[in-house]
A = this chain, B = another copy of it.
Amino acid sequence: MDKVSIGLLGFGTVGTGVVRLLSKDRERLEERTGTKIHLEKVLVRNKNRPRKVLIDNRKLTTDVHEILENPNIDIVIELMGGIENPYRYILRALRNKKNVITANKDLMASCGEELLIEARKNHCDLYYEASVAGGIPILRSLTDSLAADRIQKMIGIVNGTTNYILSKMSHEGLPYNKALASAQALGFAEADPTSDVEGLDAARKMVILSHLAYSIPVRLDDVKIMGITDITSEDIFYAQKLGYTIKLVGIAEVSNGDIDVRVEPTLLPDGHPLASVDNENNAIYVYGSALGETMFYGPGAGEGPTAVSVVSDLISVIRNMSLGVTGNHIFLPRKELHPRKDNLVESRFFVRLHVKDQPGTFSSITDLFKDQGISLERLYQEPVPGKEIAEIAIVTHVASKVLFEKTFEMLKKLEVVLEAKYLRVERG
């Protein structure tokens, strides 16, 4: 095989990064693959828009058929975003026996299984390392490097936008809105940040990770999702007082043969390796049955990191092509286990209460926990200045979720309790 030809769908940030890497490191990549790598066509919306990287204008096209139906093109790299068009284009590319690389988590989380089956049927590769945690090679690690182990649990900080916002709130005491505005100003958050801050983006990544780690076809509907829009700087402040950091984490856990996938703001003990993963960085903590605990840390997005993942996938596809083994590395779920929407049995919990600052308040609350058989691990109380109100922050010991929720409902009904909220606490 002397040469491979590539068609690129989309020329935004990541597309620019891929073109940059292919041109800057051409010699090294060609030496590594033993093949000339030719960028044949790039699908764009507007051919006349200025580009951040040098490209022959004749390679640009607004007609996707010039790529999908082009017999010269061996590999299609999809970097458009969205679901409907990429879905149709990738399906068409695979049916035309083209190998595909995509960074599209939305697509892979919603139609990944179908596309992977189509790829295998056509003896084509479909790689998507860049779809989860940009520059962190977590997908390949799950399918190859940790293949021998039984994964029991994964905890991931897999959304850079929310991690940036929570880091700003934690370190600078900013309120949510200001932290969001700062993220938007730096390009870490979209103008419409909904899918990030509501936890949907993280949930999509957890769907992809769960599929690879557990070989179970989890669907987005199976994931219990809670975003960070209700997290206040006071929540963060009182969590810190008790020795915890609040992070938006995705958790996928197998217990008693059921799988539970959740995305929710969670308190991590300050010593937990994930607690110090700051700003727009991502990290995935994996608990393996034989392996123990291992963590993958790095940039979760951005032109360079995501392009490295895409082009590393490209090197793998080219290698498979020259060995004549494309379509053989497709990993499909094998188990029919039905995931449960909420499998959480027991946990520590963080409770914040605004209470009337009057004699007996404190003991009426601790008595309630005691009567319900929930013991308290840490507790912090202080008056709210200028009001007849006190703040109480509590971290419980491990308790059954059912019992805790019942107790929390009783707490809210106490005459002295004015406001109450709770979050889950991860073990150290």
Contact = CB atoms under 8 A, between A and B. Distances in A.
Interface of A: 17, 21, 25, 28-29, 31-32, 129, 135-137, 140-141, 144-150, 273, 276, 288-299, 302, 304-305, 307-312, 314-316, 319, 323, 325, 328-329, 334
A298 B308 contact: no
B276 A288 contact: no
B147 A315 contact: yes
B148 A21 contact: yes
Given A273-B297, A297-B294, A311-B148, A31 B288 contact: no
Given A144-B312, A297-B297, 5 more contacts: A137-B146, A144-B315, A146-B312, A292-B305, A295-B296
B295 A135 contact: no
Nearest to A307: B290
Interface centre among A32, A141, A276, A323 (most CB of B within 10 A): A141
A28 B308 contact: no
Contacts of A310: 148
A148 B304 contact: no
Given A308-B149, A323-B325, A323-B328, A136 B25 contact: no
A254 B70 CA distance: 41
A374 to B, nearest CB: 32
B149 A316 contact: no
Contacts of A129: 145
Contacts of A144: 137, 140, 144, 312, 315-316
B307 A298 contact: no
Contacts of A328: 319, 323
A183 B93 CA distance: 57
A314 B148 contact: yes
